[in-house]
Amino acid sequence: MTENNATETKGNVKKTRILVVDDSRLVRVTATKILAAQFDLILAEDGEEAWQKICEDDTIQVVFTDLGMPKLDGYGLIQRIRQSENEGIRNQPVIVITGAAEEDDVRRRVFELGATDFITKPFRSTEIIARAEAHASYRRDKDSLQKSVDIDLLTGTLNLSGLHQQLRKDVSFVNRHGENMALIIFELDDFKTIYKRIGEHAANRIVKQAATTLLGAIREEDSVGRYGFERFVVSLPMAKTEGVIILAKRLCERIKSFKISIGGEALTITMSAGISIVRKGSPTTVKELFKSAEQALHNAKEMGRGEVQILKLETKQTDEPTVAVSIDNLLEAIIKGKTELTEKQMLAVLNRLAPLIALMTKKQKQQLIL
């Protein structure tokens, strides 16, 4: 057993790193005797300790876990792994080892949560070794395929690596040519709670359907990537602000049409969106776009489910001084009859109100004019 990076066997071939999680010292000792000679073994006494090790060590290839443990049980550990924002952790093979009496019910529940395999105690040494080898091999092959194609295998969108590579290209292009750029982060609302109710299989169906909806709505020059468990990022180089807002709203409305029934109860799925906009002549970076879009998404979720919000990045430097305008003070002055405004003040007011006006419906804009 080792707590360091994967050790090397003869011929400089790294051993497969295995994490075994069980609060029983006897089980941990038994697992060590069976696995330590062939695998690089890490032990944890409960789900919380295991989760910390998983987050700190990206070389772990297979997780064996008990179910009944203090602090965080096996069910909770599976949920955290399958809902992780980290692509590598989310795809981790998880094998449940349990002596639970009601085996059929337990088996069904853990597979709904996303367990990869199931072994009943007392386990045979040949069985646990075979499962470890098989799932480690599958994980290596899957990771290799994922890295080679830059595609998320579940949704067909760009994976995290492919997404960042595409965004660097898009940002470089718009900066070089002084064009517009928009980035949208879509997030399925409260999806981790929904996941707990419907299980991994149904949750994956919804995520895949959402991805298909996004892919079917974008232009050829746009890109969609999966950014976490329930998040997607859409890159839109040279996109107009009004068109981006219309697109985001339309997609959020489409997601509302998704229906799933749980115990006869219809469950409505909603999606919120945060939009980051860069105007022509305002150079930006991928980091700035993400930060702005994430703040816009936070603002949208603060307003409720299925909302869309926008933030504009203004990084172009000009020689003209910024005009500071308080809309509250301005309205108070107008009420008092002080209606004199300079052109700069008027433009400053319109720029402050532009994101709000952009989110208004056509009817609301007509009422505003009247």
pLDDT of residue 8: 45
3-state secondary structure 6-57: CCECHHHCECCEEEEECCCHHHHHHHHHHHCCCCEEEEECCHHHHHHHHHHC
Distance, CA of 226 to CA of 159 (rounded, Å): 6
pLDDT of 282 strictly over 60: yes
Of the pLDDT bands very low, low, confident and very high (cuts 50, 70, 90), residue 326 is low
Mean pLDDT check: name the lowest of 111-125, 238-252, 265-279.
Answer: 111-125
Q: Where in the chain is the domain with CATH 3.40.50.2300?
A: 10-149
pLDDT of 300 strictly over 60: yes
pLDDT of residue 116: 84
Residues 271 and 255: beta-carbon distance below 8 Å? yes
Average pLDDT over residues 5-12: 44
Q: Regarding the domain delimited by 160-316, which CATH topology (the fold level of the hierarchy) does it fall under?
A: Alpha-Beta Plaits (3.30.70)
Q: Where in the chain is the domain with CATH 3.30.70.270?
A: 160-316
pLDDT of 325 strictly over 70: no
Percent of the chain with pLDDT over 70: 78
pLDDT of 1 strictly over 60: no
pLDDT of residue 177: 81
pLDDT of residue 316: 45
Q: CA nearest 191: which of 167, 158, 226?
A: 226
pLDDT of residue 367: 64
Of the pLDDT bands very low, low, confident and very high (cuts 50, 70, 90), residue 63 is very high
Mean pLDDT check: name the lowest of 190-194, 271-275, 291-295, 344-348.
Answer: 344-348
pLDDT of residue 7: 43
pLDDT of residue 207: 92
SS3 for 78? helix
* 93 upstream amide cis, omega within 30 of 0: no
SS3 for 80? helix
pLDDT of 208 strictly over 70: yes
pLDDT of residue 112: 82
Of the pLDDT bands very low, low, confident and very high (cuts 50, 70, 90), residue 277 is very high
Average pLDDT, the chain: 82
Distance, CA of 189 to CA of 192 (rounded, Å): 8
Structure tokens given for 104: 């059929």
Average pLDDT over residues 25-53: 91
Rg value, the chain, Cα: 26
Percent of the chain with pLDDT over 90: 35
pLDDT of 321 strictly over 90: no
pLDDT of residue 339: 62
pLDDT of residue 322: 47
Distance, CA of 310 to CA of 296 (rounded, Å): 5
Of the pLDDT bands very low, low, confident and very high (cuts 50, 70, 90), residue 133 is confident
pLDDT in tens, 75-97: 999 989 988 888 788 888 899 98
Distance, CA of 69 to CA of 75 (rounded, Å): 10
Q: Regarding the domain delimited by 10-149, which CATH topology (the fold level of the hierarchy) does it fall under?
A: Rossmann fold (3.40.50)
Mean pLDDT check: name the lowest of 20-34, 52-66, 137-151.
Answer: 137-151
pLDDT of residue 314: 64
pLDDT of 324 strictly over 90: no
pLDDT of 182 strictly over 80: yes
pLDDT of residue 145: 57
pLDDT of residue 86: 84
Of the pLDDT bands very low, low, confident and very high (cuts 50, 70, 90), residue 119 is confident
pLDDT of 99 strictly over 80: no
